[in-house]
């Protein structure tokens, strides 16, 4: 491997100064050659243990160069089909950045060899009198690159998530105190003023408050196992995911987990052809250099993806989990610390950017489902849990410090108060056959949600009483609706889902399934429909309503209005600020057999719908492997009422305020 690397680097040294190809194409390869050679210098420093000895200025200069690297050929100005492949190559070369910092020789070698193979194809085309390589040959280069290395990449990804060996990020956390922002640059992630200011702010917080943040985070994780009735002592590892700048809290969380017998694995968020590309990344991560760039490159695999690669992905996943079967059996699940504050970008549709064909969309949907089935075979969903908590970052604006303190309070609200108040809402809902939700003013929402029937109301309940455990902060009651009879229109003027903005977002529902959809924001109807189809439906023809919930966290709602940050709240908090409807799988996906109880001792029986019931006969049709919440803010609600068998109506919310007796305390924050 070292020999291959040296040979490749020597050739790239020559390319940097060559003038053989047409000027536009040669300029691209020369620029990329300089980029690769710069990464080689960082790789050498990492291998020699010199990175930690560099000054802040030196580390920052390296970070800025590699992440702000620019090229002349982009999807925006691609002049031919072959240039589209060059843009995809650029994105894959950028995946070498973390490899350089980690000293990952394999990750470096396979990508520099891809670069050389494509460059050589241009030289050969020129010798043959062609202006550029045949598109088929470029497609094959990418195809064989992915097919050759998917197995090893998959094995590495699974190993990093599950094994207890000390990994790259864990070593950084262990060996550095993060009192200096310089330490942030050791990861090889993009670092901006936001990450630096976040770390500086956390270092200014009293230890007691940091401890409270960490204890809330890890305590919610443990509470999840307690509520599921799962013995946490049988588990050995937890996967922590966070954003740079939160190290003071993460270090305390690692200590907390160690006290209960869990060792932390910390994996980097990936963005490459071997591990998948998308707008949302999972794992520890720094800043994103360009959201638009990620948006344009999220379907680069469309250039070569076919049934053969689907098979390779499935076989690789199966082989990797089989190898780490024991580690998977003692995996407790993820602990996620999300951040918010960044304004959602106004994405542009770039026609030249790769997009999956209809056949490829079908293949990716099938593959996603089958990959999840393989994982669930080794990581039993009924025996693992998770927790998610969120905090703001400085890009939220001038009130960052004040908002940060408010969110700490939000994440530690009175458990008992919300438990008892929400129970009154559940008691009313349990008597109903369906719920009516109607929008107010310009909001066109008009929905009827069918509810499960209780066989034994004294021992059973339809709605879960959600307090602060896996899903922090407190503040909702939720259920899995009956699809048949669930119908109407859902409308939100403006909503942010999975980091993307939707304007005038409207769904039409019939028997619980989406039958039509629309939004604005892009110039043409087709662009708007495609945006929803790709990023909300995740290329499914339709999705069921997997969850209906009533958010009760009026404190979060007040905070958002007070600071004007509704547009940047994460769904984790936003879903608690009004009624919400999730489309895709239910909250109990793959765990329908697990018996779950509310704090009052009643068993939650509304855990599945007509789709998930197919899991025993047609598993491929039972799950959709997505779950996206759409929230309507309180002041957009005219009424939420439950209707019983006799047609009697009980109002829960009227004109954005709680009117059910015993819930008036929730209006105090609204006042």
Q: What is the pLDDT of residue 58?
A: 97
Predicted confidence (pLDDT) at residue 166 exceeds the cutoff of 80: no
Cα(124)–Cα(120) distance, integer angstroms: 6
pLDDT at position 615 is 87
> Residue 385 pLDDT > 90, yes or no?
no
Q: Give the pLDDT confidence of 11-26 residue by residue, as tens digits.
A: 999 999 999 999 999 9
What is the pLDDT averaged over residues 188-203? 98
- The per-residue pLDDT for range 543-584, each reduced to its tens digit, is 999 999 999 999 999 999 999 998 888 888 988 999 999 999
- DSSP for 377-433, written as a single string: HHS-GGG---EEEEEE-GGG-TTHHHHHHHHHHHTT--HHHHHHHHHHHHHHHTT-S
What's the alpha-carbon Rg for the chain, to the nearest Å? 26
Of the chain, the end-to-end C-alpha distance in Å amounts to 66
- CB-CB contact of 98 with 188 (8 Å): yes
Phi, psi of 488, rounded to the nearest 5 degrees: 125, -155
Instruction: Yes or no: say if 249 and 206 are a contact pair by the CB < 8 Å rule.
Output: no
- pLDDT, position 625: 84
Share of the chain above pLDDT 70, in %: 100
**Quick count: other Cβ atoms within 10 Å of Cβ 423?**
19
Give the model's pLDDT for residue 671.
84
Say if residue 247's pLDDT is above 80.
yes
Q: How far apart are CA 256 and CA 250, in angstroms?
A: 10
Domain boundaries, the chain: 2-133, 162-388, 413-670
Q: What is the mean pLDDT of the chain?
A: 93
Task: Return the sign of the alpha-carbon dihedral for residues 406, 409, 410, 414.
Answer: negative
Judge contact between 476 and 576, C-beta under 8 A: yes
Task: Kindly tell me if the per-residue pLDDT of 419 is higher than 80.
Answer: yes
Q: What is the dihedral of CA 495, 499, 501, 502, to 10 degrees?
A: -60
Provide the CA 555 distance to its chain's centre, in angstroms. 25
Q: How confident is the model over 36-90, as pLDDT tens digits? A: 999 999 999 999 999 999 999 999 999 999 999 999 999 999 999 999 999 999 9
The number of residues making up the chain comes to: 671
Mean pLDDT of 642-669: 95
Q: Tell me, what DSSP letter sits at residue 629?
A: E
Q: Following CA atoms 612, 614, 617, 621 in sequence, which dihedral angle do they give, to the nearest 10 degrees?
A: -90
Q: Is the pLDDT of residue 217 over 90?
A: yes
The arithmetic mean of pLDDT across residues 327-333, rounded, is 95
Mean pLDDT of 439-453: 96
Residue 616 binned pLDDT confidence (cut-offs 50, 70, 90): confident
pLDDT band at residue 468, thresholds of 50, 70 and 90?
Answer: low
Q: 47-61, 343-357, 360-374: which has the highest mean pLDDT?
A: 47-61
Handedness of CA 343, 348, 352, 355 (dihedral sign): positive
Torsion angles phi and psi, residue 149, rounded to 5: -115, 0
User: What is the residue-wise DSSP string for 196-263?
Assistant: HHHHHHHHHS-HHHHHHHHHHHHHHHHHHHHHHT--GGG--EEEEE-BTT-HHHHHHHHHHHHHTT-E
Model confidence at 347, pLDDT cuts 50, 70, 90, reads confident
CB count within 10 Å of CB 90 equals 22
pLDDT of res. 282: 85
Closest CA to 249 of 104, 473, 408: 408
pLDDT exceeds 90 at position 119: yes
Give the architecture (CATH level 2) of 162-388. Answer: 3-Layer(aba) Sandwich (3.40)
* Listed ranges 92-96, 411-415, 523-527; the one with the highest mean pLDDT: 92-96
Instruction: Please count the CA atoms within 13 angstroms of the CA of 223 that sit on its side-chain side.
Output: 19
């Amino acid at each position: 491997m070292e020999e291959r690397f040296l040979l490749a680097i020597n050739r790239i040294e020559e390319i940097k100064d060559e003038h053989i190809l047409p000027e536009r194409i040669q300029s691209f390869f020369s620029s990329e050659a300089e980029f690769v050679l710069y990464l080689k210098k960082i790789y050498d420093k990492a291998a020699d243990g010199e990175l930690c000895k560099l000054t802040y200025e030196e580390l920052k200069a390296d970070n800025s160069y590699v992440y702000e690297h620019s090229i002349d050929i982009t999807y925006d100005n691609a002049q031919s089909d072959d240039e589209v492949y060059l843009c995809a190559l650029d994105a894959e070369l950028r995946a070498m950045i973390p490899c350089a910092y980690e000293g990952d020789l394999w990750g470096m070698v396979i990508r520099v060899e891809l670069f050389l193979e494509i460059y050589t194809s241009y030289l050969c085309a020129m010798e043959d009198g062609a202006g550029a390589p045949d598109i088929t040959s470029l497609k094959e280069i990418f195809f064989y690159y992915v097919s050759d290395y998917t197995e090893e990449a998959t094995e590495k990804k699974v190993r990093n998530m599950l094994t207890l060996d000390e990994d790259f990020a864990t070593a950084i956390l262990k060996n550095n105190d993060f009192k200096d922002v310089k330490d942030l640059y050791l990861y090889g992630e993009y670092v901006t003023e936001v990450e630096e200011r976040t770390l500086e702010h956390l270092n200014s917080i009293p230890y007691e408050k940091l401890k409270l943040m960490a204890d809330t985070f890890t305590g919610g994780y443990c509470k999840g196992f307690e509520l599921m009735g799962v013995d946490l002592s049988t588990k050995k590892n937890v996967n922590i995911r966070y954003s740079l700048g939160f190290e003071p809290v993460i270090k305390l969380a690692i200590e907390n987990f160690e006290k209960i017998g869990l060792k932390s694995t910390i994996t980097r968020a990936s963005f490459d052809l071997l591990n998948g590309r998308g707008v949302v990344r999972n794992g520890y991560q720094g800043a994103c250099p360009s959201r638009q760039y990620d948006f344009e490159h999220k379907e680069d695999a469309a250039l070569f993806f076919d049934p053969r690669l689907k098979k390779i992905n499935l076989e690789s996943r199966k082989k990797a989990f089989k190898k780490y079967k024991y580690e998977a059996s003692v995996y407790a699940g993820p602990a996620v610390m999300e951040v918010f504050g960044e304004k959602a970008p106004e994405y542009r549709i770039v026609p030249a950017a790769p997009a999956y064909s209809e056949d490829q969309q079908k293949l990716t949907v099938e593959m996603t489902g089958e990959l999840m089935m393989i994982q669930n075979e080794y990581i039993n969903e009924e025996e693992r849990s998770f927790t998610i908590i969120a905090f703001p970052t400085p890009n939220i604006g001038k009130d960052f410090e004040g908002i940060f303190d408010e969110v700490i309070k939000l994440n530690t609200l009175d458990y008992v108060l919300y438990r008892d108040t929400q129970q009154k809402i559940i008691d009313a809902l349990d008597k109903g056959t369906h719920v009516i939700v109607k929008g107010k003013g310009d909001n066109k929402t008009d929905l009827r949600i069918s509810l499960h029937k209780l066989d034994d109301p004294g021992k059973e309940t339809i709605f879960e009483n959600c307090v602060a455990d896996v899903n922090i902060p407190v503040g909702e009651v939720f259920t899995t609706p009956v699809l048949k009879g669930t119908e109407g229109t859902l409308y939100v003027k403006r909503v942010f889902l999975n980091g993307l903005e939707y304007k005038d977002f409207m769904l039409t529902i019939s028997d619980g399934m989406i039958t039509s959809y629309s939004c604005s924001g892009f110039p043409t109807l087709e662009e708007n429909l495609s945006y929803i189809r790709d990023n909300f439906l995740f290329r499914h023809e339709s999705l069921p309503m997997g969850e209906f919930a009533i958010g009760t966290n009026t404190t979060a709602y007040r905070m958002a209005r007070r600071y004007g940050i509704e547009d940047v709240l994460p769904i984790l908090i936003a879903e608690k600020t009004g009624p919400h409807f999730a489309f895709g799988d239910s909250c109990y996906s793959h765990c329908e057999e697990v018996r779950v109880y509310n704090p009052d001792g009643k068993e939650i029986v509304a855990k599945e719908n007509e789709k998930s019931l197919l899991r025993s006969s047609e598993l491929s049709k039972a799950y959709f492997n997505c779950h996206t919440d759409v929230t309507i803010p309180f002041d957009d609600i005219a009424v939420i009422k439950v209707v019983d068998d006799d047609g009697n109506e009980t109002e829960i919310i009227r004109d954005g305020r709680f009117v059910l007796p015993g819930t008036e305390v929730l209006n105090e924050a609204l006042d």
